[in-house]
């Protein structure tokens, strides 16, 4: 019975105390990297815990952090771990917030922080691509493009501090046209669990000219096997960039009535299917947008979640509507004008919806005031990271709970109703953004926000998320990305034909990492030694 | 030394005579399928040989063909093969012409023909996708869409008889917008070598609503692992379709001077990078285009390849230029007009280039006279299959030799020069089409055409192709797809870091197919028993 795996915690092989694991391998890591690139002090290690966890929870704590600077050091770290049987947890910048941050799935793992492997190795203006190391943040690549004078735009995530590679490997969503279907990656270099080094695609041929220009190779294409998995450590990755368009036009679609959401979804699908909208929009609800621009206590100090009449009031007074969709158009001015008129007419025909947008020259995007408009123009910042203090005005956190739904009104509303009612029943505000990764489906990003200093509220947030993982799955909605704390539960829902997919993943795991040293439990893929004999 | 593998032929484990292999498993196959779905007569088996091989060559001949009609039968066939150690060679329609057709890599393999699994399981107009079995041809899916009255277009290959799934699994190229980066596949069902059945992506969750709508799942995405490999038999696949655009405009760019090819390549890259051209164009040389519309003997009866002055004469008199590019624009009429004017101005600025195009309503595409214009409108036919008789006027064949190059003038011309001089030195005409699978790279499709009744000419065609595989690789160009006869040689060129990529492929092979029964040698991936102990 696979249900038994849900309660899996730390088996003896890795469950030893921090000092035990560290004692075995720490000397070797220190000999390789020097003391300054090996962190094992218990107090210092707290910086690598989930920032959105309640302070005294310590389930996901590393025993050490090692910080390689070269590919050879990564290879040697993997070999040392293999000799000592130490589990590694590779991170890039560790900004996987809402899903566990930098913390490892298995207590006592050694974090391999790649943040000092932060070189932009190449930017090619003619063919519009870059080759980067895993520590390169959105900020870094953006600055490197600017410093080189390249007229190229990068499809970025909402918050600029994350790693380009790390975000890509976790199926993270970005918003420019190459964000559709997460398609901007081209070519990888990977350290495998045995310490060997491989290049994918055309990079498998010495001196090939097309490594960052053709997405496949000769033979099977393994790139996506290294995303949301524990099969290797990516040490180089190609990223496609977009040449500056003639004009850029961030657009807004404001929906005054909650009841019109379904129609908005259907119009959006048609506009994405026919290419009028080419990037990845966000349909953001009142509360989520409000976290960036106001404080909760101004509007509601009663018990439980903010009620509908107050949401309507916020929608009016903040001028944001019950749902506010951001999207953008990039292209020749004549085409942008045509597409904007088309999308304006389509959405405004719903009634109770208004649409606006402003054309901007690519050079002027950095001076746009609204951070959402900068993000869709490829200019990173931290301005969209303000939501955390919603309940207390101080520190806060969120759990990301994000199932995929068809981009259709019926499905979208059914999922919305399930999640809203579940979260509100837990006494929390429903905060949501619909992110259509392409024309046919969207990730229902649910930010279950809580005050990290309030243990009961934190517990409630985790509990309701877990309950909804199961309830959403029963209705046919599966998560696109899972928090450490319910990775197993989320994966358990993908159980078609007696978990055939997970059994496949495990066979690959055993073949590539028989010792089970690389990120055990990541995405619920456990090495044989931790599978209760399966 | 991996060079030893180049000369690998049939090892004892599979190299037995046809009758031996057949004798072991044939009874079980017949018990499962009935005699009418098992072919083992030597004469009948000739229909499953490479149609473009010289008649008496029998290196790649099957010992039997089995024809399942259900997924369960495919599973049982795999289990029978496992029991008897019989190598299987799955094909869909077997139209992999130029790369070996239906023939197996290992002599004596049992072909699993999936052509009777030919149901279109679903067509969804709202979200624009289909779910098909592997025997569904371009013709079949096109007809099913039409029969359902759906206003949807399918991105198709040049010749309509091929399988949608088979083409996709071999990285085949199609020409509508979803042809870019071969991106139209979404979701798979796969029979693994042990007979178990898996669904990928959201299909791994029972009852999930987004199997054909979201390309990934939770955890690593294995879909592309089943393309150009021997890891499983795909029994269902999702295909994305495109809603009818307001207008469709096939366009032509005629290049009078061979010397202008480089500039055409650079202009094309810029127009694809900025989205003006969204599908997959073809830049076709004089000889290749001529094979469809004329006979060789009309122009040249001398020794060796057609010389440049005759090519210039053909270019003029056939009105096709030295290079003729086909492409197309799909969309709202205003946008199509804008994009056409932009591409016309860009190409005509080169001089010696003219550009034309005609707008067509989607409903009228089937009545277009030129098959190239129908193909880019998603209407399949066999009209582009006429090139085979070039030398003899009767039967002919070709070897496909197709390296990837950056879509840049310098690279493109260097590759063109290498291939043209090599092929002409072998006494053959240089026939080429450049297929930019997206803005950054193109497949240099080289059709090395020969008379299949002329053994010396056939031998010359194979020999020069093999020589050029190696020479192109030395310059940094690798094949995107390889003919049976030099799969090993082509893969051998992907040798970075002591063949790290192939060693990875072999580890996956050994994990999924320890008995080595599924398509041994496909894409040079051999099971352990056939790797000379490696």
Chains A, B: CB contacts within 8 A come to 302
Distance of CA A68 to the CA centre of its chain: 23
User: Distance of CA B448 to CAs A200, B432, B435, Å?
Assistant: 29, 9, 16
Q: What is the ipTM of this complex?
A: 0.95
Chain A CB contacts of B525 under 8 Å are 219
Which pLDDT does position A68 carry in this prediction? 98
Determine the residue among A213, A342, A403 to mutate to test chain B binding: the one whose Cβ has the most chain B Cβ atoms within 10 Å: A213
Determine the residue among A105, A488, A496, A521 to mutate to test chain B binding: the one whose Cβ has the most chain B Cβ atoms within 10 Å: A496
Chain A CB contacts of B345 under 8 Å are none
Task: Please tell me the distance from the alpha carbon of residue B379 to that of residue B164, in angstroms, as a whole number.
Answer: 14
Task: Please tell me the distance from the alpha carbon of residue B79 to that of residue B436, in angstroms, as a whole number.
Answer: 41
B411 to A338: CB separation less than 8 angstroms, yes or no: no
What's the residue count for chain B? 534
B524 to A219: CB separation less than 8 angstroms, yes or no: yes
Task: Please tell me the distance from the alpha carbon of residue A445 to that of residue B275, in angstroms, as a whole number.
Answer: 29
A218 to B490: CB separation less than 8 angstroms, yes or no: yes
**Other C-beta atoms lying within 10 Å of the C-beta of residue B7:** 7
A478 to B229: CB separation less than 8 angstroms, yes or no: no
Residue B406: closest CA among B446, B447, B434: B434
Distance of CA B364 to the CA centre of its chain: 28
Chain A CA closest to residue B336 = A335
3-state secondary structure of B96: coil
Q: How close, in Å, is residue B318 to chain A by CA atoms?
A: 34
What is the four-CA torsion angle of A528, A529, A532, A533, rounded to 10 degrees?
60
B440 to A220: CB separation less than 8 angstroms, yes or no: no
Q: How close, in Å, is residue A95 to chain B by CA atoms?
A: 19
Higher pLDDT, B91 or A399: B91
| CA angle (A485, A486, A490) in 5-degree steps | 160
Cα torsion angle, A467, A470, A476, A479, sign: positive
Task: Please tell me the distance from the alpha carbon of residue B333 to that of residue B312, in angstroms, as a whole number.
Answer: 36
Task: Please tell me the distance from the alpha carbon of residue B50 to that of residue B52, in angstroms, as a whole number.
Answer: 5
Q: How close, in Å, is residue B484 to chain A by CA atoms?
A: 13
Q: How close, in Å, is residue B524 to chain A by CA atoms?
A: 8
Chain B CB contacts of A473 under 8 Å are 205
| CA angle (A444, A359, B346) in 5-degree steps | 105
A476 to B512: CB separation less than 8 angstroms, yes or no: no
Which pLDDT does position A453 carry in this prediction? 87
* A480 catalytic residue (yes or no): yes
Give the active site residue among B231, B391, B430, B480: B480
- In degrees and rounded to multiples of 5, residue B263 shows phi and psi of -65, -35
Residue B429: closest CA among B296, B255, B260: B296
Chain A CB contacts of B206 under 8 Å are 495-496
Q: Which residues contact B12 (CB under 8 A, 6 or more apart)?
A: none
A128 to B439: CB separation less than 8 angstroms, yes or no: yes
pLDDT tens readout for residues B223-260: 999 999 999 999 999 999 999 999 999 999 999 999 99
Strands (E), B409-477: 432-438, 441-450
Which pLDDT does position A57 carry in this prediction? 82
Of A245, A496, A507, the CB nearest to B204: A496
Q: Residue by residue, what is the 3-state secondary structure of A416-484?
A: HHHHHHHHHHCCCCCCEEEEEEECCEEEEEEEEEECCCCHHHHHHHHHHHHHHHHHHHHCCCEECCCCH
Chain B CA closest to residue A499 = B204
Of A210, A229, A405, the CB nearest to B404: A210
Q: Is the pLDDT of residue B362 over 70?
A: yes
Q: Is the pLDDT of residue B10 over 60?
A: no
**Other C-beta atoms lying within 10 Å of the C-beta of residue B271:** 20
B217 to A439: CB separation less than 8 angstroms, yes or no: no
Model-level pTM?
0.95
Cα torsion angle, B81, B83, B86, B87, sign: positive
Q: What is the DSSP letter of A518?
A: B
Determine the residue among B501, B509, B526 to mutate to test chain A binding: the one whose Cβ has the most chain A Cβ atoms within 10 Å: B501
Task: Please tell me the distance from the alpha carbon of residue A271 to that of residue A254, in angstroms, as a whole number.
Answer: 16
Distance of CA B110 to the CA centre of its chain: 22
Of B127, B228, B439, the CB nearest to A440: B127
Contact A279, A249 (CB under 8 A): no
* Tally of CA atoms within 13 A in the half-sphere of A224 that contains its CB: 25
A407 to B242: CB separation less than 8 angstroms, yes or no: no
3-state secondary structure of A395: coil
Residue A528: closest CA among A13, A3, A6: A13
Contact A439, A273 (CB under 8 A): yes
Exposure class string for A354-365: b at 16+ Cβ within 10 A, else e: ebebeebebeeb
Chain A CA closest to residue B268 = A127
Contact B296, B310 (CB under 8 A): no
Q: Which residues contact B49 (CB under 8 A, 6 or more apart)?
A: B58, B60, B61, B101, B102, B103
Which pLDDT does position A386 carry in this prediction? 66
**Other C-beta atoms lying within 10 Å of the C-beta of residue A431:** 23
Task: Please tell me the distance from the alpha carbon of residue A375 to that of residue A355, in angstroms, as a whole number.
Answer: 19
Residue B133: closest CA among B122, B125, B143: B122
* A52 catalytic residue (yes or no): no
Task: Please tell me the distance from the alpha carbon of residue A407 to that of residue A400, in angstroms, as a whole number.
Answer: 20
Q: How close, in Å, is residue B39 to chain A by CA atoms?
A: 30
Strands (E), B402-481: 403-406, 432-438, 441-450, 478-479
Helices within B294-377 (DSSP H only)? 308-317, 333-348, 371-375
Chain A CB contacts of B203 under 8 Å are 496
Which pLDDT does position A5 carry in this prediction? 34
A481 to B338: CB separation less than 8 angstroms, yes or no: no
Of B192, B208, B525, the CB nearest to A219: B525
B214 to A479: CB separation less than 8 angstroms, yes or no: no
Task: Please tell me the distance from the alpha carbon of residue A156 to that of residue A175, in angstroms, as a whole number.
Answer: 6
Contact A377, A370 (CB under 8 A): no
* A99 catalytic residue (yes or no): yes
Which pLDDT does position A10 carry in this prediction? 38
Q: Which residues contact B413 (CB under 8 A, 6 or more apart)?
A: B261, B262
Q: What is the DSSP letter of A197?
A: E
Task: Please tell me the distance from the alpha carbon of residue A269 to that of residue A442, in angstroms, as a whole number.
Answer: 10
End-to-end CA distance of chain B: 10
Q: Which residues contact A30 (CB under 8 A, 6 or more apart)?
A: A38
Helices (H) and strands (E) counted in chain B, each on its own, are 14, 20
Residue B314: closest CA among B335, B347, B291: B291
Q: Which residues contact A36 (CB under 8 A, 6 or more apart)?
A: none
Chain A CB contacts of B221 under 8 Å are 224-225, 227-228
pLDDT band at B28, cuts 50/70/90?
Answer: very high
What's the residue count for chain A? 534
Residue B367's Cβ-count burial label (10 Å; 0-12, 13-18, 19+) is exposed
Q: Is the pLDDT of residue B11 over 60?
A: no
Q: How close, in Å, is residue A298 to chain B by CA atoms?
A: 39
Of A202, A224, A476, the CB nearest to B208: A476
A523 to B242: CB separation less than 8 angstroms, yes or no: no
Task: Please tell me the distance from the alpha carbon of residue B57 to that of residue B453, in angstroms, as a whole number.
Answer: 11
Give the active site residue among A14, A52, A99, A248: A99
pLDDT tens readout for residues B383-442: 988 666 788 777 788 888 899 999 999 999 999 999 999 999 999 999 999 999 999 999
User: Distance of CA B267 to CAs A211, A494, B142, Å?
Assistant: 22, 47, 33
- According to DSSP, the β-strands at A403-406 and A441-450 are antiparallel
3-state secondary structure of A322: coil
Chain A CA closest to residue B525 = A219
Determine the residue among B471, B496, B514 to mutate to test chain A binding: the one whose Cβ has the most chain A Cβ atoms within 10 Å: B496
Give the active site residue among B52, B60, B99, B248: B99
Task: Please tell me the distance from the alpha carbon of residue A41 to that of residue B348, in angstroms, as a whole number.
Answer: 68
Task: Please tell me the distance from the alpha carbon of residue A324 to that of residue B164, in angstroms, as a whole number.
Answer: 40
pLDDT by residue, tens only, chain A of 534 residues = 333 332 233 334 444 444 455 567 899 999 999 999 999 998 999 999 988 888 778 889 999 999 999 999 999 999 999 999 999 999 999 998 889 999 999 999 999 999 999 999 999 999 999 999 999 999 999 999 999 999 999 999 999 999 999 999 999 999 999 999 999 999 999 999 999 999 999 999 999 999 999 999 999 999 999 999 999 999 999 999 999 999 999 999 999 999 999 999 999 999 999 999 999 999 999 999 998 889 999 999 999 999 999 999 999 999 999 999 999 999 999 999 999 999 999 999 999 999 999 999 999 999 999 999 999 999 999 998 866 678 877 778 888 889 999 999 999 999 999 999 999 999 999 999 999 999 999 999 998 888 888 899 899 999 999 999 999 999 999 999 999 999 999 999 999 999 999 999 999 999 999 999 999 999 999 999 898 655
pLDDT band at B533, cuts 50/70/90?
Answer: low
């Amino acid at each position: 019975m696979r249900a038994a795996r849900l309660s899996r915690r730390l088996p003896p092989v890795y469950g030893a105390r921090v000092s035990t694991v560290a004692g075995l391998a720490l000397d070797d890591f220190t000999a390789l990297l020097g003391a300054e690139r090996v962190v094992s002090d218990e107090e210092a290690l707290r910086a690598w815990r989930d920032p959105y966890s309640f302070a005294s929870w310590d389930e996901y704590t590393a025993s050490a952090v090692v910080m390689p600077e070269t590919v050879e050091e990564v290879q040697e770290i993997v070999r040392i771990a293999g000799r000592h049987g130490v589990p590694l947890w590779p991170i890039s910048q560790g900004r996987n917030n809402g899903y566990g941050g930098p913390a490892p799935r298995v207590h006592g793992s050694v974090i391999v922080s790649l943040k000092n492997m932060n070189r932009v190795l190449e930017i090619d203006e003619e063919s519009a691509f870059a080759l980067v190391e895993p520590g390169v943040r959105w900020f870094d690549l953006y600055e490197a493009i600017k410093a080189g004078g390249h007229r190229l735009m990068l499809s970025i995530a909402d918050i600029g501090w994350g790693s380009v590679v790390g975000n890509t490997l976790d199926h993270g969503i970005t918003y420019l046209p190459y964000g559709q279907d997460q398609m901007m990656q081209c070519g990888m270099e990977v350290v495998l669990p045995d310490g060997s080094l491989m290049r994918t695609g055309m990079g498998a041929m010495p001196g090939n000219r097309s490594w960052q220009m053709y997405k496949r190779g000769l033979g099977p294409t393994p790139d996506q096997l290294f995303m949301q998995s524990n099969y290797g450590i990516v040490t180089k990755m190609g990223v496609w960039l977009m040449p500056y368009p003639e004009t850029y036009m961030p657009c807004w679609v404001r929906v005054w009535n909650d009841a019109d959401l379904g129609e908005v979804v259907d119009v959006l699908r048609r506009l994405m299917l026919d290419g009028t909208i080419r990037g990845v929009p966000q349909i953001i609800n009142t509360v989520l947008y409000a976290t960036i621009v106001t404080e909760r206590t101004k509007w509601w100090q009663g018990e439980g979640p903010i009620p509908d009449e107050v949401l309507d009031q916020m929608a009016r007074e903040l001028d944001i509507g019950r749902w506010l969709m951001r999207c953008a158009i990039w292209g020749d001015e004549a085409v942008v004008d045509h597409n904007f008129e088309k999308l304006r007419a389509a959405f405004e025909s719903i009634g109770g919806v208004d649409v606006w947008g402003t054309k901007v020259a690519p050079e002027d995007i950095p001076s746009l005031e609204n951070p959402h408009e900068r993000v869709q123009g490829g200019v990173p910042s931290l301005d969209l990271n303000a939501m955390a203090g919603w309940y207390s005005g101080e520190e806060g956190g969120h759990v990301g709970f994000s199932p995929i739904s068809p981009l259709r009104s019926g499905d979208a509303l059914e999922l919305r109703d399930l999640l809203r009612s579940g979260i509100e029943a837990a006494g929390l505000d429903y905060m949501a953004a619909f992110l259509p990764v392409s024309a046919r489906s969207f990730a229902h990003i649910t930010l279950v926000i809580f005050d990290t200093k309030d243990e009961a509220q934190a517990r409630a947030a985790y509990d309701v998320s877990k309950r909804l993982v199961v309830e959403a799955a029963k209705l046919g909605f599966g998560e696109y990305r899972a928090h450490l704390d319910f990775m197993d539960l989320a994966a358990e829902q993908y159980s078609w034909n007696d978990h055939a997919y997970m059994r496949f993943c495990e066979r690959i795991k055993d073949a590539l990492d028989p010792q089970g040293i690389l990120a055990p439990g990541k995405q619920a893929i456990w090495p044989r030694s931790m599978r209760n004999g399966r």
